[in-house]
Structure 1
Amino acid sequence: MSANVIVYSTSGCSDCNQVKQLLTSKGVPFEVRDVMASAAYQDEVEQLGFMGIPVTVYGGRAVKGFNLPELQELIDAAAE
């Protein structure tokens, strides 16, 4: 499984933590990009068309928030 899943988040964000816990429980490796630590990461989120976090990205797909059905589809795609 490739580690191309990116989670844009920040510390203290409960939805962000839920996304990260879900990915960890499914054995999906991911990179965390803290939007508070890097203006470039914030710009990336905005370029994806979002203003808030978490945003989980894999391939050409981005999921906003803790949207379990969409996250599961992204996890399934990442597992292929």
Structure 2
Amino acid sequence: MSQPVIVYSTANCSDCNQVKQLLSEQGIAYEVRDVMTSTDYQEEVEKLGFMGVPVTVFEDRAVKGFNLPALKELIEAAAR
């Protein structure tokens, strides 16, 4: 079993919601990590080299924002 897809997000973040909707539509299970509720999650995002959300992570891939081409590649990798 591979790692889950992780979506770092915040409440009321439209790009975050678009990412989660896309993953759901593609049948990809994901874990939501709300950076406003955990300093650990915020630090994880910063360690990846990002300051904002959404950041979608699968294995060694991290996609910032709602970047559809990059998200599609991540989804293909996660679907294997």
TM bucket by the smaller chain? over 0.9
Residue correspondences, number: 80
Aligned to 1:78: 78
Whole-angstrom CA distance in 1 between matches of 2:2 and 2:59: 11
Displacement, 1:51?
0.3
Code of the aligned partner of 1:4:
P
- Give the gaps of 5 or more residues in structure 1: none
2:60 pairs with 1:65: no
* Identity value in percent: 71
- The alignment yields a C-alpha RMSD, in angstroms, of 1.1
Aligned to 1:46: 46
- Give the gaps of 5 or more residues in structure 2: none
Displacement, 1:13?
0.2
What is the TM-score when the length of structure 1 is the normalising length? 0.97
String of CA shifts for 1:2-29, please: whole Å, max 9, x gaps: 5610000010000000000000000000
